Structure 1
Amino acid sequence: MSVRHALLALLSEGPKYGLRLRQEFEERTGEVWPLNTGQVYTTVQRLERDGLVESDPDDTVEGPQKLFQITEAGAQELDVWLRTPPPADAPPRDELVIKVLVGLRLPGVDVRDVLQTHRRHTIAQMKQYTRLKEDAADDLSLLLVADAQLFRLESVVRWLDAAEGRLKHHAPVAPAAPADAAPSTRTRRLRGATR
């Protein structure tokens, strides 16, 4: 998540002090991603350095009482960020996928058991977010965060199901080739798919 752009969005509503930016950021994100005051000021100082934010020229106080406002360049940057899809250059590193891939080549590891353990944990998380939605019926920010998490967790369960199905139809994976070996055809295909 881009804290930088979230702070620009908050400043697009009007000038604000750093402590107010932190408070509004947490309120609007359902208080799921805490933000410390130091991170707010470091980020706002970088935005100011980049000409996207300016402090009140009449305000000589540094720190929590300094008032910040968005510049025209900052408003343009915010607009571009809001309308630009995130890059999809390569699949993100996913710890669960890495665990399964590594587990496939480790002697004595039952990858199906690894999949089931993660499925149980993921379903338990889904139940927690479902309860959270029931308890937060009036909090739109929290409802949207819970929905996003539920959809993400649902996709994890679907991937676990697909992985288990593939395991049923494939022979066990042989140990990995030495590190100095040339890239396999599979590796070349994966690299090509991300370009």
Structure 2
Amino acid sequence: MSIRHGLLALLEHGPRYGSQLRTEFETRTGSTWPLNIGQVYTTLARLERDGMVTQDGEDDAGHTLYAITDDGRVELKSWFRTPVDRASPPRDELAIKLAMAVGAPGVDIREVIQSQRRHTIKAMQDYTRLKAQALDTAPADRDEVAWLLVLEQLIFQTEAEARWLDHSEQRLIRLSMMPEPVKPSPGLPRPKMPVRAAREEADGR
């Protein structure tokens, strides 16, 4: 998640101070990715160092205001135009967990899948309920529309995760029906060939 670009996008609407940026970011995303104020100010400091924002005086309450610079606008436009890179996807804890659970001693991987499926379906139901509540009244402003976009992405994501879990369980069922490969016992010497057979093998016969 690009916090720096999110803050730049908010600053495009005018100067803001740190806690105001945090509040607006969480409002826009429905608090799906909450920020702590230290994270906001650390990001602002880096943006200022990189010439993307500059301090722009104080408001009536003495809060330091930050404004986007021309370099910041160029960076923001580039971010909006550039597709999100999927060549190096972020680590997914669930995928890693299932990959490590395959063949792990004492782990019932189907139980792991079923437990996760229950959690995923509940999350999907919660997101769907929130969407229904949000649609009871037509979205009144851009923040509400933005939150609906985030919410629908979460619904699609959990639906895809539930389908993947079903697929994974079916794959494991097929795997369990396959015969176990016969592995040679470690430490046992390879049987010796008769002398004649060994010579014929060496001669390619």
Rounded Cα–Cα distance in structure 2 between residues aligned with 1:24 and 1:34? 11
User: Which residue of 1 is the match for residue 105 of structure 2?
Assistant: 107
Rounded Cα–Cα distance in structure 1 between residues aligned with 2:149 and 2:25? 15
Bigger mean CA offset, 162-171 vs 47-56: 162-171
Q: Counterpart amino acid of 2:65?
A: L
User: Which residue of 1 is the match for residue 184 of structure 2?
Assistant: none
Quick check: 1:19–1:64 contact (8 Å CA) kept in 2? no
Rounded Cα–Cα distance in structure 1 between residues aligned with 2:156 and 2:88? 21
Gaps of 5+ in 2: 182-205
Gaps of 5+ in 1: 175-195
Kindly report which structure 2 residues correspond to 1:70-149, keeping only aligned pairs within 5 A, or say none: 70-137=68-135, 138=139, 139-149=144-154
Rounded Cα–Cα distance in structure 2 between residues aligned with 1:29 and 1:172? 50
| Equivalent in 159, 166, 169 of residue 164 of structure 1 | 169
User: Which residue of 2 is the match for residue 153 of structure 1?
Assistant: 158
Aligned length: 171
Q: Counterpart amino acid of 1:167?
A: L
Rounded Cα–Cα distance in structure 1 between residues aligned with 2:179 and 2:113? 15
User: Which residue of 2 is the match for residue 34 of structure 1?
Assistant: 34
User: Which residue of 1 is the match for residue 17 of structure 2?
Assistant: 17
Q: Which has the higher contact order (CA 8 A, sep 6+)?
A: 1
Offset, 1:140: 2.2
Offset, 1:11: 0.9
Rounded Cα–Cα distance in structure 2 between residues aligned with 1:115 and 1:173? 22
Per-residue CA deviation, residues 119-154 of structure 1 (Å, 9 max, x unaligned), is: 111111111111111222243233222211111111
Rounded Cα–Cα distance in structure 2 between residues aligned with 1:7 and 1:148? 21
Q: Counterpart amino acid of 1:74?
A: G
SS in 2 for 1:51: coil
Quick check: 1:18–1:64 contact (8 Å CA) kept in 2? no
- Name which one, 1 or 2, has greater alpha-carbon Rg: 2
What TM-score, normalized to structure 2?
Answer: 0.75
Offset, 1:35: 1.9
Per-residue CA deviation, residues 5-62 of structure 1 (Å, 9 max, x unaligned), is: 0110011112222232122112111122222222222111111110011112xx389x
Q: CA RMSD, aligned part only?
A: 2.3
After superposition, the Cα gap between the structure-2 partners of 1:48 and 1:91, relative to the gap in structure 1 and judged at 3 Å, is closer
